A and B are shown apart, each in its own frame.
Chain A
Amino acid sequence: NAGVTQTPKFQVLKTGQSMTLQCAQDMNHNSMYWYRQDPGMGLRLIYYSASEGTTDKGEVPNGYNVSRLNKREFSLRLESAAPSQTSVYFCASRIPGNTEAFFGQGTRLTVV
Chain B
Amino acid sequence: RKEVEQDPGPFNVPEGATVAFNCTYSNSASQSFFWYRQDCRKEPKLLMSVYSSGNEDGRFTAQLNRASQYISLLIRDSKLSDSATYLCAVKDDKIIFGKGTRLHILP
Could you list which residues of chain A lie within 8 angstroms of chain B, going by C-beta atoms?
33, 35, 40-43, 45, 48, 50, 56, 58-59, 90, 92, 94, 98-106
In the A-B complex, list the 6 residue pairs whose CB atoms are closest, starting with the nearest. Answer: A42-B99, A98-B32, A103-B43, A43-B97, A100-B46, A48-B94
CA distance A74 to B74 in the complex (A): 35
CB pair A106–B94 under 8 Å, yes or no, is no
Segment among B14-22, B55-63, B85-93 that sits at the interface with chain A: B85-93
Could you list which residues of chain B lie within 8 angstroms of chain A, going by C-beta atoms?
8, 31-32, 34, 42-46, 49, 87, 89, 91, 93-100
CA distance A76 to B89 in the complex (A): 22
CA distance A56 to B100 in the complex (A): 24
CA distance A50 to B49 in the complex (A): 20
CB pair B43–A33 under 8 Å, yes or no, is no
CB pair B94–A42 under 8 Å, yes or no, is no
CB pair B34–A100 under 8 Å, yes or no, is yes
CA distance A43 to B94 in the complex (A): 13
CB pair B43–A105 under 8 Å, yes or no, is yes
Question: 15 A-B residue contacts at CB 8 Å?
Answer: A33-B94, A33-B95, A40-B99, A41-B99, A42-B98, A43-B97, A48-B94, A50-B93, A90-B43, A92-B95, A98-B32, A100-B34, A101-B46, A103-B44, A103-B45
The minimal Cβ–Cβ distance linking A87 to chain B, given in whole angstroms, is: 13
